[in-house]
């Protein structure tokens, strides 16, 4: 996202060689899981797409046009990116240990130098639609930004539909709290019955008051409450961002832009607290890079892509902090049945 928090982590992903012991355990568990009927066994099923589907657009930061194709994948494949514009390029697993950069977006990459940027909105849509297995082909260095939210990706997935597969849906159950901090920023994963996010944000801009959202993701909550929230930025920051090579494809068509206390986009905001909802969307996407559904609660205070990625590294480095499980069939895909709780006097004197 484009907003600049009070404290922004600039940390980059760790090398493939620097992996927690727990990461390898988890990969072995998932890779060795046998394909089998699941509903009758009491487990939710893995999910893939019914058919391939395609879209195109521009990259938010690089400004380059790109086409993206989502393709069905076999059980236990996971989510894999493939750069079709680079002949013979290695596949890029959508996993936290492949994160290479977290400045203003999440970028994945492999040792050969092949990267794919701004994956978080698509990853959030896949999480929200409960998709476990998909091949993502992109003919450029960045996932298209589309309208700056996850809604177009959700619509893309829904346009072809999803199908259950004869393999149990994996889950990562949080057994004890893990926290990482960076200045005023903090991110925590703690135990819980399902997956929920609790986010607080604060920005330097006087027009944006502190905002918070607490949301259990269940029964379409992601689509209703988070998917439409767009990335955002501030007009007086854009020149500096572009000089640094960011936001080159940004516009009022794909980001909310604030100038002083005014929203420049025609129609204004989609939610009074759209900024914190977008941060929650980002967190859902970043945390889906764990490689499976998380059964636990995420608490973020001024957190961003860098802290979210550091949190997953910290989690899997502590083998007693998590366990592998399957999602029970009766648990609505393992997401928490919490009510939506908001606290956001959001914006002061917002204009249209």
Q: Where are the domains of the chain?
A: 21-35+43-343
Candidates 82, 278, 305, 313; catalytic one? 305
For the CA atoms of the chain, what is the radius of gyration? 19
Under 8 Å between Cβ of 319 and 192: no
Q: Is 305 a catalytic residue?
A: yes
Please tell me the predicted confidence (pLDDT) of residue 345.
30
Please tell me the predicted confidence (pLDDT) of residue 239.
86
d(C-alpha 129, C-alpha 79), whole Å: 13
Query: What CATH number has the domain spanning 21-35+43-343?
Result: 3.30.1700.10
> Sign of dihedral through CA atoms 267, 237, 282, 119?
positive
Please tell me the predicted confidence (pLDDT) of residue 206.
57
Report DSSP state, residue 105. Answer: S
Report DSSP state, residue 248. Answer: T
Q: What is the pTM of this model?
A: 0.85
Please tell me the predicted confidence (pLDDT) of residue 302.
94
Please tell me the predicted confidence (pLDDT) of residue 218.
82
- One digit per residue, the tens of pLDDT, for the chain of length 352 reads 343 232 323 233 333 333 333 445 445 444 444 444 455 578 999 999 999 999 999 999 998 999 999 999 999 999 999 999 999 999 999 999 999 999 999 999 998 889 999 999 999 999 999 999 999 999 999 999 999 999 999 999 999 999 999 999 999 999 999 999 999 999 999 999 899 999 999 887 656 789 999 999 888 899 999 999 999 988 988 889 999 988 899 999 999 998 988 899 999 999 999 999 999 999 999 999 999 999 999 999 999 999 999 999 999 999 999 999 999 886 554 333 333 333 333 332 222 2
Report DSSP state, residue 206. Answer: T
> Sign of dihedral through CA atoms 270, 194, 120, 159?
negative
Residue 169 φ/ψ, nearest 5 degrees? -80, 125
d(C-alpha 163, C-alpha 238), whole Å: 42
Q: What tokens were used for 125?
A: 């849509």
């Amino acid at each position: 996202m484009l907003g600049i928090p009070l404290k922004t982590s600039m940390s980059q992903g760790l090398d493939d060689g620097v992996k927690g012991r727990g990461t390898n355990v988890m990969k072995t568990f998932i890779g060795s899981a046998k394909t089998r009927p699941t509903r009758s066994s009491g487990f939710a099923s893995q999910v893939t797409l019914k058919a391939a589907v395609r879209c195109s657009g521009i990259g938010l930061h690089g400004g380059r046009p790109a086409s993206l194709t989502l393709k069905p994948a076999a059980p236990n494949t996971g989510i894999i990116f493939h750069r079709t514009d680079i002949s013979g390029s290695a596949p890029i697993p959508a996993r936290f240990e492949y994160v290479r950069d977290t400045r203003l977006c999440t970028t994945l990459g492999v040792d050969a130098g092949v990267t794919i940027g701004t994956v978080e909105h698509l990853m959030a849509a896949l999480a929200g639609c409960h998709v476990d297995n998909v091949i993502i082909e992109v003919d450029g260095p960045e996932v298209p930004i589309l309208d700056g939210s996850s809604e177009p990706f959700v619509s893309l997935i829904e346009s072809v539909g999803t199908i259950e597969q004869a393999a149990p849906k994996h889950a990562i159950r949080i057994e004890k709290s893990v926290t990482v901090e960076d200045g005023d920023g903090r991110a925590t994963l703690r135990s819980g019955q399902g997956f929920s996010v609790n986010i607080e944000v604060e920005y330097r801009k006087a027009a944006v008051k502190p905002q918070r959202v607490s949301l259990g993701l269940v029964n379409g909550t992601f689509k209703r409450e988070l998917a439409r929230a767009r990335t955002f930025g501030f007009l007086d920051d854009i020149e500096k961002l572009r000089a640094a090579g960011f936001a080159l494809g940004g516009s009022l068509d794909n980001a909310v832009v604030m100038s002083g206390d005014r929203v420049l986009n025609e129609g204004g905001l989609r939610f009074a607290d759209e900024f914190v909802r977008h941060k929650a969307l980002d967190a859902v996407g970043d945390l889906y890079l764990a490689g499976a559904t998380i059964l636990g609660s995420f608490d973020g205070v001024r957190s961003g892509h860098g802290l979210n990625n550091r949190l997953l590294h910290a989690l899997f480095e502590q083998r007693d902090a998590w366990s592998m499980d399957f999602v029970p069939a009766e648990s609505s895909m393992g997401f928490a049945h919490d009510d939506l709780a908001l606290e956001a006097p959001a914006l002061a004197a917002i204009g249209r």
